[in-house]
Structure 1
Amino acid sequence: MFRIGIDVGGTNTDAVVLSDAQDVLAENAIVAWEKSPTTANVTEGIAKALGAVIEKSEISIKDIAYVSIGTTHFVNAVIEANPTKLAKVAVIRLAGPYTKRCPPFIDFPPSLRDTIEGHVAVIDGGLQIDGKEIVPIKDEHVFEQCRIIKEKGLSHVVLVGVFSPLAGPGEQEEYVRDLIEKYFEGSKMEVVCSKDVGHVGLLERENAAILNAAILSFARETIRSYAAVLKKLSLSCPLYLTQLDGTLVNSRAAASVPIRTFSNGPTNSMRGASYLAKLDGRTRGKSIIVVDVGGTTTDVGVLLPSGFPRKAAAFTEVGGVRTSFSMPDIYSIGLGGGSYVFFDANGSATVGPSSVGLEIITSAKVFGGQVLTATDLAVVAGLKDTESIGDKSLVLNNITSKEVTAGMDAIRRSLETAIDRMKTDSGDAIVLLVGGGSVIVPPTLEGVQEIVRPPYFNVANAVGAAIARVSGTVDRIEIPGNRSFDEIIEACKAEAIQNAVNAGANCENTSIAEVAVIQLPYVANHASRVIVKAVGDLDLGALKVDPSEEQNSDLESATITDVQAKNMVKPVAAPTQSKTNAVDINTYTPSVSSDGIWTLSETDIEWIAEGCAILGCGGGGATYSAFLMARQAIRAGHKIRVVDIEYLLQNSRDAWILPCGFMGSPSVSSERIPSGVEIPTAGRNLVKFLGIEKISALISDEIGGKNGLEPMLLATETDFNLPIVDADLMGRAYPRLDQILPCIAKEKGLFPVVAADGIGNCMVVPTAENNAIVEDILRAACTVLGSSVGLSISPLQAHELVEHSIPGSTSQAWRIGRAVALCRRESTLSSVSEAITRLQDGKLLFVGKVCLHEVRGGFTHGRITVAPLLQEEMEGSNKADDQQPNAISGRMIIPFQNENLQAEIEHEDGSRKVVCCVPDLITVIDAQNGSAIGTQDYRYGLRVIVIGLACDPRWASPAGLKLGGPVAFGLDTKYEPIGVYKQPKSVVAEFRAS
């Protein structure tokens, strides 16, 4: 039997025929291969490559076991926002009172939203973190939405239930799906359940399900065209598509969840490289760097010991939409075989990022053209496998030996930097080199132990498609109850293996490839996300012979000509930029009235969200959904106003200010997005309990993380219609509710305090023995109420804010966010630490890569170890040794308890030195984009910048250190201030109108 793999790239469509004989070595398994230009009509290019490779192989078509295709066809339709390929979608959320402030499509780019959005609704339903119903589903609500959907003429529906991954078979989304299908019986309706598409994280899962539903019709049409290609060539074998995780899915399943086939090209290349180098699944515990050099770009990724690529961050953007799919961790640079080569007056060379691309065979000098390319340099330098490329003499007379050396040095530097970025340690790496443009790579690279260019390196991507395995996955939240975690894991392993076998894997060689247990923070029932993945070879003996009878029963009617016109890429308008992207950061002025009221814009909210995340010190909860909701409120015409303490004192020193925020697990708030009634319910009940007639303003209990934004959502006229004070009670984020400035003073505290959820439950703690007990009481109540509640704590009067709050913290968040935005705009992210420490006294502590991530008790406790970057990796101000003494010779260890607690340097001799600790702020920033990284998002290989910032001096007092210093977290560390605290500069004072 033979396998055929096809990979559609931006430049070429590659096809290979592989023998399935078990005793054949990898290099001998390639029976034939073909590389042909990718056509505007992708199907036409596939037909050409497939026909050519079958003819070359001279095999009988009856001996072909299957054809597998890796394609960018579907993801391109999304990126183009092409209305001829994307359907209008109706979205029904099952959420009860929750999530309404953050509606579906809220973060879609305008052009894509206009193309896809058909109808949205939030109705009763959804689950709590413990699996109990938020509110029961009402059939009449479902049928009412069906009536509206019918009136609008929509045929694609997405169902999204809060915590639907917790639901059992036939529950929640599936129950509503059955109701919809019953209502539309006899009509063709496409109903997508989000639990079948994504995982925990409501917005990201919903977005993935929406994109999947929108592309469904086009995907089926496209897969029909692929089946038509096989039919035209008289092939009776099954058709498979490769998924982004490097596994196969049959054509029927791919037509149901096409989004899983997005961006599979890099995965195919890496899997093919592993197979050709005889490393597939046998890397002996060592990760391998794969470098795939094409005509225009070079992709660098990491192949894990399992033989599968290392994953990128938990969330990935597809066409500007954030989804829950974890794509391969790929770093791309503008270097390829067709890259232009330029020389300056000093003889230094620049190679790329512009490229001649497909025109290399007519444009490169070695082929008689007029453009000096990277391939020309490689031919003149006499690199391996370049002897048969073009005519060397056509280049020799137009370039000097010094220029060749300079050009090759430029290529070498680009590759060395890219490879080092993907390493997780500073040791020499093994590099697998593949791709048609890989002939330009020098034979040795700094930091590389060995370069392996396997046979058939130029079609490794098609080989990866051909050898793709079959997977089965279990990804859900488990609540242990009376079971041990070992029992849960073993049951999930068995289920994953069975899922793989059901998908077509051979049960004899299916094994577990990945196990991860992530305990959700601040959840008392020990709920944990369990991810188990099993993989195995496709069971060829069980394959169906005729695709028209089984796998492709609904795909066989089309012919190639039926779909060619529809598959052609049609020009569409480019996505509209957001208002914030269009702002001139250097000249932007916030709107502050003459009486000192700052009315926030979309730009202000975006910068404040960025700054709050950085001030969160790794905790406080992700700001993403809160930012989206605040932006949505502004777009709806609502006003969010900020005033400083001076404004309040001038009006009334005795005015009552209400502190508020959320308590609970960030994992819950990312799924059960607040309804908006939690804090108002708590606040109004507290005011009623105390007999206070009027509240004059709201204040955040902590500026760090999402709580720095949440009260702003409630300050509009639809809720409290009150301004927010430019201050908070922490100046950062802390894990415990009692770690606020009022609790340092004996006469002030948390109680009375009120907690409320979104469905009418509310409790008052009028008094308690001490503030610490209030934290414990509310933590227990929070668990009962779904592990997320809105809080209002003991109000303060305006004059008390001077002593018990951090003035200007909202302004500080705004300025930090603005500084990050400016660094991004000017491409100076290497100087982001300098920009932030100009705003608040502090130091750049370390620049490096996360090489170890350990957790205890879920994400709430653990530590990361950061290895230093090589000197040549450092850029800009990060090169300054005096800013991070001894960092180059050691590693940084950062323990955390939801927030980062301290940063210490571990030297090569084993000695350690603490360079920063609580209550000073320690923030870890992504060196690639300048955004803060939450402790829940720490992972191997992240390139990070670690910054320490000075805390308010009240935290450095004896009482402050007892409450929020090292001793409060069980650290045997003497606190040494990292700097002298600078009072944040008020935005109101600076920009107040005359």
Structure 2
Amino acid sequence: MAHVALRIGVDVGGTNTDGVLLDPAATGSLNRGILAHHKAPTTPDPCDGIETCIRKLLEDAHIEATQVTSLAIGTTHFINAVIEKNPARLVPVAVIRLCGPFAREQYPGIDWPQDLASIICAHCGFVDGGLEIDGDIIRELVEEQIAEECTLIRQKGIKSIVVNGIFSPADIVECQEERVGDWIKKYYPEAEVVLSKHVANLGFLERENAAILNASIMPFARATIASFERAARSLKLTCPVFLTQNDGTLLPAHRAASVPIRTFNSGPTNSMSGAAFLVRHELGLARRAMLVIDIGGTSTDIGMLLPSGLPRQAAAITDIVGIRMNFSCPDVRSIGLGGGSIVRRSEKMTIGPDSVGLRIQTAALIFGGDTPTATDYAVAASTAELHIGNPARVPADLRVHADEYRAVLHEMLEGIIDRMKTNAEDIDLLLVGGGALLVEDGTKLKGTSNVIKPKYSSVANAIGAAIARVSGTVDTVRTTAEKTTKEVLDEVSLLAVTRAVENGAEHTTIELAEIDVIPVQYVANKARFIVKAIGDFDFSRPPPAALDDPGFDRVGDLVAQLVSQRSVLPAPPPPPPTLSELESYRPNVSPAREWRLSERDLEWFSIGCYILGAGGGGSPYAEFVRVRELMRKGSIVRVVSVDDLADGARVGGGCGMGSPAVVIEKLAGDQMMDSQRAVWDVVGGKPDAMIGLEVGGMNGLQAFLLGASANMDVPVVDGDFMGRAYPLMWQVTPVIMGGEHAHALPNALADGNGNVLVMTGATPERMVERTFRAALAEMGSAVGYAKAAYLGRDVKSWAVKHTVSLAWRVGRAVALCRARSDLDAVADVIIDAVGGPETARVLFRGKIVAVERKLVKGHLYGEVSIANADGSCLTIPFKNENLVARRVGPEGVEVLATVPDLISVNDAASGEALGTSDYRYGLHVFVLGIATSDKWTRPRGIQIGGPRAFGLDIEYKPLGVFLPPRSVIDEYAPII
């Protein structure tokens, strides 16, 4: 039988290399178009295993190599090099930041594991450049600065350089990164240059992290991918070679060699896509979501396939080996269950998490070994004959405990199924992977409507590679001043389609898979547009030229060279704290009742800040990193009780003002301290202490940043003036308690670029707000704001007390849940931390099904809809912060909570808070309602911060009883 346009998919795992030969014209047949499949052990040099696998496929199917039109390869080699922190496969990297006076404190690798940073992060140069969000230039590029940096980098022997500019993904006019890249080639021709905008999207630190890792792995990736192509050519294949991406689409080999980081998590994606392909004809699942469980030799991965056929993606920020990045990765959870998992019997049977792994064919009982594994028990418990090893070697006592084995296995699988589902409705489950044999055919698992183990399930990952499509993605900020949002969206969508075509897609097959439009707060006529287009590969095109030979016959030659270049290997990192260490941890409170924060305290406080932000305030992460770096350089963060303030003490205040969309790109310069200095110059001296104006979000850490700085070195008061986050500066307790007149004058703004505005007089506090908001857009939409000192007696009366303690307790509760691997309980532990069920409760659980956003006078207005299995839906309108939670069900509409009570939406997968700008379709969340401070529930507080203050014709009804937070200082201060 003659075949044309055949595809080969290969997945190179740590244990096995799987391959399939597929006829896409016969996918409706009984064999799904699969002409041959093969599974073999992965070889030390992966191209050997690939070559052997492909040769076997062609021989078994009696196919000529010329009939193959594409070869798609998924591999874990690149991410494994990072996970293993392998200095033989990672090269040192220099970074050139185009940032002007900004982004200098948070240097590259500041939040990395130290051992990995010591291998990779070798140099950073801060130079002029960068853009404001409106496209204005922060500082003009200076060619001489780039020439000087190239000289320094060459002297250090570094050949990989990352260029990262502020707002570079939105830079389509100045092309600053491209110009600097050209200059580097001019002054250092031997250098490899990676432009951050080609690697990841908006989010300065996260994009830079991805670009650095990408640059570090590039030499190894190029040599590896070139070896893949050589293996294909040695078999007379003339087709293009692709690598599979994290989102389930394809990259041509020459592109993948430039952005290998996009292939890091392609394995789970391939398995999910392959599983859906195997069953979609029988079950009609092409437009339905389904779960996929991939059981390997050591672990089990579970993910969710969306109706689009693409895997559900994880939250916007991805963490790999402790490094935060913002490229797309599938939302996959894992447990230590696989064919090689060791089974133990004592009081209760356990399976894993340790495994014999690659040694299964010598260690397992059925292969003559002496270690009972899950595979041994599967053979013993099966009612059908399993052709694995020698079943006669299975001891009789294993068969006696077969029922217990099934019960433990099912409990493990049902637990992870329940955690991955977005609602209580039963869902179809597909079992794939070599370890799928652990689960007998016909097994029923709670939470599933069907448990399906399709034919060819053991090579589903290779099938997913073979059927993968091509994508093009655009993530940019554009103006909507002269065109409607729809017109701009159409332009961005066309650009995404163009990129998909450039990547090899056939134009007529392209469809838009993802669309999101997010207005930018405090910036007129600006929005962030995110569009992904996907389509089938156009096989009519001639294949691209093969990669240039990097000069090594084998990948091992490159590895040997990189090893020889390493004079000193990094020291291993300290072990992470144990659960018992976290549970027994006590904060450092002195006899003088001064709490000196540790890094652990700071991390817990930061987590709690975002949860208390009620959707607003922006992520505290960047400020957390800045304060932690101050601490590592010797600064001390001190917290004192609000109750211990002297009546005449001068307590200063400060915060950041601006758009979160700006802050994630334009990392802070010295604007906070510049604004403080402007105030001190007027009042004649610095304050005795600092207090946060709001505890919610990133501003919760500004008082720490200021108090711990060398210029101030003053303690921070355990309290704030909101007890949450609010969108307006006059929505504070001093206005409730002390009147509407302007407090703590003078006030000052500074943009960090040399521009300072001081307001020495004002009538109501609202006038300060209106004046500074008008200046904000002209000062870059991200500024530092300072107030002169409040008196201690007023702070004791006006502040929401002990909110530093409260945020610390909330963050500690979340951290302990993570350490216990019990995120299912995270909502309950947060409730306990804020006062118990009388103070807080879970309002809703479900997944985000719709988000609408618009910008009004700089504030992000919108509504998020969350649905669950019983058919009800929770809608939350927001103005920067969440305003009201309405449950819509068969019985009608019920208001569950309103401002000033806190409504916090949290990611169910991590326990982390989601800001209103983080909301996106498909995220599984839980919504908490938390009773607000009693200062807000008095009539004046409800007038300023209640529903009608936001134009909502709703009567405020308290969600619960406010319980004043317990002071950490009171609890842990030594008794003298």
Return the TM-score normalized by structure 2: 0.91
Give the conservation status (yes or no) of the 8 Å contact 1:224–1:558. no
Cα gap change, 1:283/1:543 in structure 2, threshold over 3 Å: closer, same or farther? farther
The separation in 2 between residues aligned to 1:517 and 1:950, in whole angstroms, is 32
Deviation at 1:851, TM superposition (A): 4.5
Deviation at 1:891, TM superposition (A): 5.9
Cα gap change, 1:560/1:524 in structure 2, threshold over 3 Å: closer, same or farther? closer
Deviation at 1:454, TM superposition (A): 3.0
Q: Which residue of 2 aligns with 1:877?
A: none
Q: 2:781 aligns with which of 782, 787, 800?
A: 787
Letter in 2 for 1:665: S
Deviation at 1:203, TM superposition (A): 0.3
The separation in 2 between residues aligned to 1:153 and 1:391, in whole angstroms, is 56
Give the conservation status (yes or no) of the 8 Å contact 2:132–2:780. yes
Letter in 1 for 2:522: V
Q: Which residue of 1 aligns with 2:413?
A: 415
2:690 aligned with 1:695: no
Q: Which residue of 2 aligns with 1:225?
A: 227
SS of the aligned residue for 1:97 comes to: coil
Question: After superposition, where does 1:472-621 map in structure 2 within 5 Å?
Answer: 472-520=472-520, 522-544=521-543, 550-554=545-549, 558-559=553-554, 562=557, 575-577=572-574, 584-621=581-618
The separation in 1 between residues aligned to 2:554 and 2:718, in whole angstroms, is 65
The separation in 1 between residues aligned to 2:233 and 2:871, in whole angstroms, is 63
Q: Which residue of 2 aligns with 1:667?
A: 661
The separation in 1 between residues aligned to 2:124 and 2:336, in whole angstroms, is 41
Letter in 1 for 2:650: W
Cα gap change, 1:892/1:35 in structure 2, threshold over 3 Å: closer, same or farther? same
Q: 1:268 aligns with which of 270, 282, 294?
A: 270
Deviation at 1:242, TM superposition (A): 1.2
Q: Which residue of 2 aligns with 1:213?
A: 215
Question: After superposition, where does 1:23-422 map in structure 2 within 5 Å?
Answer: 25=29, 27-168=31-172, 171-184=175-188, 187-278=189-280, 283=285, 285-343=287-345, 345=347, 349-366=349-366, 370-382=370-382, 386-389=385-388, 395=394, 397-400=396-399, 403-422=401-420
Deviation at 1:87, TM superposition (A): 1.0
Letter in 1 for 2:490: E
Q: 2:790 aligns with which of 792, 796, 803?
A: 796
The separation in 1 between residues aligned to 2:291 and 2:562, in whole angstroms, is 35
2:650 aligned with 1:656: yes
Give the conservation status (yes or no) of the 8 Å contact 2:163–2:194. yes
Deviation at 1:775, TM superposition (A): 2.5
Letter in 1 for 2:503: A
The separation in 2 between residues aligned to 1:738 and 1:288, in whole angstroms, is 48
Q: Which residue of 2 aligns with 1:955?
A: 936
2:679 aligned with 1:686: yes
SS of the aligned residue for 2:486 comes to: helix
Give the conservation status (yes or no) of the 8 Å contact 1:315–1:323. yes
The separation in 2 between residues aligned to 1:29 and 1:889, in whole angstroms, is 39
Cα gap change, 1:973/1:43 in structure 2, threshold over 3 Å: closer, same or farther? farther
Q: 1:982 aligns with which of 953, 958, 964?
A: 964
The separation in 1 between residues aligned to 2:781 and 2:575, in whole angstroms, is 34
Deviation at 1:204, TM superposition (A): 0.3
Cα gap change, 1:132/1:406 in structure 2, threshold over 3 Å: closer, same or farther? same
Give the conservation status (yes or no) of the 8 Å contact 1:471–1:535. yes
The separation in 2 between residues aligned to 1:24 and 1:304, in whole angstroms, is 21
Give the conservation status (yes or no) of the 8 Å contact 1:591–1:599. yes
The separation in 2 between residues aligned to 1:918 and 1:563, in whole angstroms, is 61
Cα gap change, 1:987/1:158 in structure 2, threshold over 3 Å: closer, same or farther? same
SS of the aligned residue for 2:509 comes to: coil
The separation in 2 between residues aligned to 1:65 and 1:818, in whole angstroms, is 55
Give the conservation status (yes or no) of the 8 Å contact 2:141–2:176. yes
> Which deviates more, 590-599 or 274-283?
274-283
Question: After superposition, where does 1:871-886 map in structure 2 within 5 Å?
Answer: none
Cα gap change, 1:567/1:264 in structure 2, threshold over 3 Å: closer, same or farther? farther
Q: How many residues align?
A: 959
Letter in 1 for 2:620: T
Q: Which residue of 2 aligns with 1:884?
A: none
Letter in 1 for 2:581: D
Q: Which residue of 2 aligns with 1:741?
A: 733
Q: Which residue of 1 aligns with 2:460?
A: 460
Q: Which residue of 2 aligns with 1:872?
A: none
Give the conservation status (yes or no) of the 8 Å contact 1:589–1:991. no
SS of the aligned residue for 2:699 comes to: helix
**RMSD between aligned residues:** 3.1
Return the TM-score normalized by structure 1: 0.90
- Deviations 1:492-511 (CA, angstroms, capped at 9, x unpaired): 22222222222222223233
Give the conservation status (yes or no) of the 8 Å contact 1:42–1:568. no
The separation in 1 between residues aligned to 2:105 and 2:794, in whole angstroms, is 33
Give the conservation status (yes or no) of the 8 Å contact 2:293–2:300. yes
- Deviations 1:191-217 (CA, angstroms, capped at 9, x unpaired): 111011110000000000100111111
The separation in 2 between residues aligned to 1:452 and 1:829, in whole angstroms, is 28
- Deviations 1:628-676 (CA, angstroms, capped at 9, x unpaired): 1111111112233333335440xxx33332211011111211111111x
Q: Which residue of 2 aligns with 1:818?
A: 812
Cα gap change, 1:19/1:949 in structure 2, threshold over 3 Å: closer, same or farther? closer
Cα gap change, 1:610/1:424 in structure 2, threshold over 3 Å: closer, same or farther? closer
Deviation at 1:464, TM superposition (A): 1.2
Question: After superposition, where does 1:833-844 map in structure 2 within 5 Å?
Answer: 833-841=827-835, 842-844=839-841
Give the conservation status (yes or no) of the 8 Å contact 1:222–1:563. no
- Deviations 1:59-107 (CA, angstroms, capped at 9, x unpaired): 2222222322110111111112222211111111111111111111101
The separation in 1 between residues aligned to 2:702 and 2:249, in whole angstroms, is 41
- Deviations 1:289-313 (CA, angstroms, capped at 9, x unpaired): 2222223322221112221111111
Cα gap change, 1:387/1:616 in structure 2, threshold over 3 Å: closer, same or farther? same
The separation in 2 between residues aligned to 1:972 and 1:671, in whole angstroms, is 37
Deviation at 1:836, TM superposition (A): 4.1
The separation in 2 between residues aligned to 1:259 and 1:280, in whole angstroms, is 36
SS of the aligned residue for 2:540 comes to: helix
The separation in 2 between residues aligned to 1:578 and 1:733, in whole angstroms, is 36
Cα gap change, 1:829/1:66 in structure 2, threshold over 3 Å: closer, same or farther? closer
Deviation at 1:560, TM superposition (A): 6.9
SS of the aligned residue for 2:273 comes to: helix
Deviation at 1:239, TM superposition (A): 2.1
SS of the aligned residue for 2:707 comes to: coil
Q: Which residue of 2 aligns with 1:760?
A: 754
The separation in 1 between residues aligned to 2:181 and 2:394, in whole angstroms, is 65
The separation in 2 between residues aligned to 1:400 and 1:466, in whole angstroms, is 40
The separation in 1 between residues aligned to 2:113 and 2:282, in whole angstroms, is 40
Letter in 2 for 1:357: G
Q: Which residue of 1 aligns with 2:802?
A: 808
- Deviations 1:723-777 (CA, angstroms, capped at 9, x unpaired): 3222211111112111101111326435643222111222234445533343333
Question: After superposition, where does 1:853-868 map in structure 2 within 5 Å?
Answer: 853-857=850-854, 860-865=860-865
Give the conservation status (yes or no) of the 8 Å contact 1:924–1:932. yes
SS of the aligned residue for 1:584 comes to: helix
Q: 1:439 aligns with which of 411, 427, 437?
A: 437
Q: Which residue of 2 aligns with 1:874?
A: none
Letter in 1 for 2:415: T
> Which deviates more, 791-800 or 945-954?
945-954
- Deviations 1:218-275 (CA, angstroms, capped at 9, x unpaired): 1112122222322433434332211111122122111111111111101111121222
Could you tell me which runs of 5 or more consecutive residues in structure 1 were left unpaired when the two chains were aligned: 870-887
Deviation at 1:379, TM superposition (A): 4.2
